[in-house]
Amino acid sequence: MEGISITVLVLVIGAIILVLQGIKVVPQGYGWTVERFGRYTKTLAPGLNLIVPFVDQIGRKQNMMEQVLDVPPQAVISSDNAQVTTDAVCFYQVLDPVKASYEVNDLPRAMQNLVMTNIRAVLGSMELDEMLSNRDSINNSLLRKIDEATDPWGVKVTRVEIRDISPPMDLVDAMARQMKAEREKRASILEAEGEREAAIKVAEGEKQSEILKAEGQLEAAKREAEARERLAEAEAKATHMVSKAIQTGDPQAINYFVAQKYVDALGKLAESDNNKIMMIPLEASSVIGSIAGISEIASKTFNKND
């Protein structure tokens, strides 16, 4: 009886071990491959899974979550022979655990070398200024190339970021001097443009002032011409009236012309700069008489018209 009990105990323990060997619990975010006699058979999903004990074995335990690959710094020579030190970070996710397990050996190391090779290829085809100013385009180019290369491995590259591009210190100093010179150049250009704009504004102001002045003179000339025209019309009318009076036989009309010439001569003598005092004998009664005659002629003429 004691021997039977030991045998039963051994069988029970063996059964428990057999069951435990056939039960596999896969954590969330992982995919386990199953190999039977060294050959892949299936992939275990997260949760409770059953396999054939001692026949099926767990092959690779692949992490299906997005992972971060830190790319170590490396020296890169640009197309204009400038040496820079750059490092990057790569984000990727395993989509097919079978390919990631059996299509490539040591996936993280393969990914790291692939990223470093493509960084040298992409940055080596660019000049230094283009490297420093086109970070987004560099990241997009690297992402496209690396994702295409890792597709046979069942890996999806989600992001590639260049963290730093460090030129040598002497090159940094030269770039700083160049930037300073460019800023001084732009400042000089802006200052010159400001002076030019100011000169243009002043010239336009002077031009507008001259135009307004010329327009004022033109308007004054027009007014003066109109005044002379009206004066001439009045004089012509007066002359016509006097001439008509003479034709009708009125001798007093002749006094108009005599008084007019007499007054004009006195005005010219008074305007002369060399004559300070004039002593001219004249008969005031004659001039007054002439003016009175003109008044009489005008009165008669207007009465006739009425």
Is the predicted pLDDT of residue 302 greater than 50, yes or no? Answer: no
Q: How confident is the model at residue 147 (pLDDT cuts 50, 70, 90)?
A: very high
* Residues in a beta bridge with 92: 67, 157
Q: Are the beta carbons of 158 and 115 closer than 8 angstroms?
A: no
Under the banding of pLDDT at 50, 70 and 90, the label for residue 288 is very low
Average pLDDT, the chain: 81
Smallest CA-to-CA distance from 22 within 38, 6, 34, 37 is with 34
261 versus 234: the higher-pLDDT residue is: 234
pLDDT of residue 184: 86
Q: Residue 241: what pLDDT? A: 67
Residue with tokens 């004089």: 235
Q: Is the dihedral of CA 238, 244, 247, 253 positive or negative?
A: negative
Q: Residue 274 pLDDT more than 70?
A: no
**162-211 tens-digit pLDDT:** 988 888 777 767 777 888 888 888 888 988 888 888 888 888 888 888 88
What are φ and ψ of residue 103, in 5° steps? -95, -15
H or E segment to which residue 36 belongs? strand 30-36
pTM: 0.56
Model confidence band, residue 264 (pLDDT cutoffs 50, 70, 90): low
pLDDT tens profile 198-250: 888 888 888 888 888 888 888 888 888 787 777 777 767 766 666 666 666 55
> For the purposes of burial, counting CB atoms within 10 Å of the CB of 7, is it exposed (0-12), middle (13-18) or buried (19 or more)?
exposed
Q: How confident is the model at residue 157 (pLDDT cuts 50, 70, 90)?
A: very high
Residues 6 or more apart in contact with residue 46 via CB below 8 angstroms: 26, 27, 28, 29, 30, 31
Q: Please count the other Cβ atoms lying within 10 Å of the Cβ belonging to residue 220.
A: 10
Give the helix ranges, DSSP H, for the chain: 2-22, 97-102, 107-124, 128-133, 135-150, 169-247, 254-271, 284-305
284 pLDDT band (50/70/90 cuts)? very low
Q: How far apart are the first and last CA of the chain?
A: 174
Contact by Cβ (8 Å): 93, 64: yes
**Are 69 and 88 within 8 A, CB to CB?**
no
- 30-36 and 56-63: which strand pairing? antiparallel
- According to DSSP, the residues that pair with 162 across neighbouring strands are 88
